[in-house]
Amino acid sequence: MIRRLIFLRLVGPRNLLRTFAQSPARRTEFRGRPQVPFLSVTTSRGGGRVRYLTTERRAQLKYEIKTGIKYTGYIWIAGASFLAIWFAVVQERLERRYPTPHEWSYRTRMDFRGGNCARFEPEPGQITDWLQVASWFETTVSRLHDPAIDGQGVKDAPGDCPPGTKDITEKSEEWRMGYYEVLMGFAKAAEYVDGWVLDKSRNIVFPAGTMIGPSNPFPKPLPPGFKGAPREEDCSVRFDSPDLHYLRILSTPGFTNRQKIDAGLAYASWLDFKGTTGPASLILEDTIHLAATERPNLPSPPLNPQTYTLNPSAGPASENLLTALTAYATFHARHGNLTTALPIFVSLLRARRTTPQLNTDTPLTAALAHQTPRSLSSRRYADPDRSIWSQLTSFFLPPAYPPPPPDGTAPPLRDSLALCQEAALSLHIGEIMFATTTSEREREEALGWTREAVDMAEEQLHRAKPREQVHHLPGDDPARTACRECLATGLGNWTAMVSKLAREEEKKQKKAGGTQKQQNSSGWFSGLSLWSSGNPGSSNGKAGGENGDDRWAAEAKVIQDRKKRAAELLEDLPQPPRGVFSFLQA
């Protein structure tokens, strides 16, 4: 034991440990952890293998991919649902604005609403794209003619009718009303795209007159947006002519006399625009004869066949006859046949003043009999007197198709619209009398007719309800539109008449003053101011000139005051929308 302690003291534990640590055998035996690849630690200098897709990371990636797909699907579903709801709301609003028969298929109704929307509601700052309107209506007509879609029971019209004319007598009243609106819209659009051609090589429609070929040696320049003028050998006419459309309407069995009369008046207007006044006059005469023969039980013929004036002994004239005669008289007045137009206007005014009187304090109720189905629907679903619950429920219920308008065989009521039409007749009579006479007394009478027309039109515009109480689209109220046009035209005619009378009076005064001056200068004492100033003829002539000038100057001032007073009525600006956030509007 003592020997062992002495040895440890001499050697020391430090020397013993150092010897053990530096022993090759120990270094070989205790060299550390084995270098297994998946247990190696990655260093910044590299040198080790890295596992990028571990079990935990694989599970994380699967979760992220599934979550991304799920939320992406949710977003797409929400977006598709929003677009579907927005499309349904837009179509529902258009349905209330432009009603369609319920028996039509949804696609046909959508095409018809699209055509009306493109026609009446172009993009802000843009004009109506009549090519798009014609395309919408063409698709609607083709679907209504197809027996496999909406044309069940539609047959080809018998006889010598224009090609494409159909017999719709077996269809319902709603179907026929909608079909008539489609055909009239298509005919109106065809007027604006008359002569447009389709380049079959590029399937592009070009305006009329731009085609290069023997039939058009001087082509028009292309409008902006069109590239490459079409060649005649590659082109064909895109749409039928408006004449063919109107003739189809006039020949379609199943339309009422009023519908055919309206179509005839539109056709005559188109022919007049094209310069074919002879056929236009014949079409107008045919519409007059059609309106005159729809009431066979009258005690005497309602019309004088030579002068086309109304016969007072036949009783009150029908609304169709008054409308057709007004268009016929306006046509002759426009083309200078004043001796033919004036008796017709006078007989029309006499007939309208003998119609039954209606309470003019409610012009909106009275004008409903003259509204189209479109304006009837817009008023029906904008009634402010209904409760909130009924308005909400009516939004989710399909709107009822408006009833048919009156057939026009009865005499019109003397409502606000009729009074505005009377004012227009007075305006025409005054204008014709002023243009066809040189008598001072007759010109004074013509001026009186014009003043009366202006007073009536302004009175009816003041009687009309404010726009925020009417609740309809601009241009839907025919009484307000007719009165505004009559008032603007009447003020213009009144100004022109007074200006002409003032110029003529000034010429007379200058001529009379020159004659009087010549008479005064021929006397012995013409150079003396004493004798010249005491000439009674000179003073009387000057006074007369001042009285004539003062009279027309005073009337011109009255006209200016009337124009300022009527400026607000003539502008007819729509009221701003009054919603929940209306207080934020400037």
- Per-residue DSSP letter, 280: H
The secondary structure of 545-562 as a DSSP string is HHHHHHHHHHHHHHHHHH
- Picking from 265, 238, 249, 250, the residue whose alpha carbon sits closest to that of residue 138 is 238
Strand extents, DSSP E, 407-452? none
CA distance 488 to 362: 23
* 3-state class (DSSP) for residue 274: helix
Residue with tokens 């120990």: 26
Radius of gyration of the chain (CA): 44
* pLDDT value, residue 375: 37
Q: Are 211 and 289 in a shared domain? A: yes
Torsion over CA of 29, 31, 34 and 39, rounded to 10 degrees?
160
End-of-domain residue from the set 246, 266, 297? 297
The answer to whether residue 29 is domain-embedded is no
Q: Does 307 reside within a domain?
A: no
Side chain identity at residue 504, one-letter code: E
Total count of residues recorded for the chain: 586
Give the Cα separation of 138 and 183 in Å (integer): 9
Determine the residue type at 334: R
Within a domain: residue 136? yes
> Do 405 and 272 belong to one domain?
no
Query: 46 lies in a domain?
Result: no
> DSSP labels for 11-71?
H-HHHHHHHHHT-HHHHHH---S---GGGPPP-TT--S---SS-HHHHHHHHHHHHHHHHH
> Strand, coil or helix: what is 310?
strand
**In 344-364, which positions are buried (b, 16+ CB within 10 angstroms) versus exposed (e)?**
bbbbbbebbeebeebebeebb
Q: Are strands 235-237 and 155-156 parallel, antiparallel or unpaired?
A: unpaired
Query: Whose structure tokens read 């055509």?
Result: 115
User: Is 379 inside a domain boundary?
Assistant: yes
Q: Does residue 12 sit within a domain?
A: no
Measured over the CA atoms of residue 71, residue 74, residue 80 and residue 84, the dihedral's sign is negative
- Give the separation between CA 241 and CA 274, rounded to whole angstroms: 12
Q: 10 Å Cβ neighbour count for 13?
A: 9
Distance between terminal CA atoms of the chain? Answer: 114
Residues 395 and 507 in one domain: yes
| Residue type (1 letter), 79 | G
| Residues 170 and 260 both lie in one domain | yes
Does 374 lie in the same domain as 288?
A: no
What Å distances lie between residue 1 and 4, 15, 431, 528, 554, CA to CA?
5, 21, 154, 180, 154
289 and 377, same domain (yes or no): no
Decide: 228 and 216 in contact? Cβ < 8 Å: no
Beta strands of 164-278 (E only): which ranges?
Answer: 166-167, 197-199, 204-206, 235-237
Distances (CA, A) of 521 to 406, 511, 545: 75, 16, 20
Helix axes 478-521, 440-463, angle to 10 degrees: 150
Q: Does residue 9 belong to any structural domain of this protein?
A: no
Q: Which domain holds residue 130?
A: 82-276+284-297
Identity of the amino acid at 290: L
pLDDT at 531: 30
Both 379 and 486 in one domain: the answer is yes
Helix (H, G, I), strand (E, B) or coil at 153: coil
Greatest Cα pair distance in the chain? 186
Verify that 182 and 290 share a domain, yes or no: yes
Question: d(Cα 366, Cα 478) in Å, to the nearest integer?
Answer: 11
- 3-class SS of residue 210: coil
| Pair (293, 371) in one structural domain | no
Identity at 207, one-letter amino acid code: P
Give the integer Cα–Cα distance in Å for 112 and 136. Answer: 7
- Contact between 132 and 202 under an 8 Å Cβ cutoff? The reply is no
Partners of 384 in beta bridges: none
Q: Considering its fold, how many domains does the chain have in total?
A: 2
Q: Are residues 289 and 380 in the same domain?
A: no
Residue 349 and residue 405 in contact, taking contact as beta carbons nearer than 8 Å: no
Query: Can you give the pLDDT of all 586 residues of the chain as single tens digits?
Result: 566 655 555 555 554 444 444 555 444 454 555 665 555 555 555 555 566 778 888 999 999 999 999 999 999 999 999 999 999 999 999 998 999 999 999 999 999 999 999 999 998 888 999 999 999 999 999 999 999 999 999 999 988 889 999 999 999 999 999 999 999 999 999 999 999 999 999 999 999 999 999 988 899 999 888 888 999 999 999 999 999 999 999 999 999 999 999 999 999 999 999 999 999 999 999 999 999 998 888 888 899 989 999 998 888 899 999 999 999 999 999 999 999 999 999 999 999 998 877 654 444 334 434 444 333 333 333 444 456 777 667 767 778 899 998 999 999 888 888 999 999 999 999 999 999 888 888 888 999 999 999 999 999 888 875 443 333 344 457 888 888 899 999 999 999 999 998 888 888 888 876 665 555 544 433 433 323 333 434 334 444 444 556 788 888 898 998 888 888 888 765 555 454 444 444 4
Beta strand pairing call for 155-156 and 166-167: antiparallel
Beta-sheet strand order (sheet of 204-206): 204-206, 197-199, 235-237
Q: Are residues 234 and 371 in the same domain?
A: no
Helix locations, 149-195, DSSP H: 173-192
pTM: 0.78
Phi/psi at 213 (5° precision): 175, 175
Instruction: Give the per-residue pLDDT at 437.
Output: 84
Do 288 and 372 sit in the same domain of this protein? no
Is residue 56 in a domain? no
CB 422 within 8 A of CB 456: yes
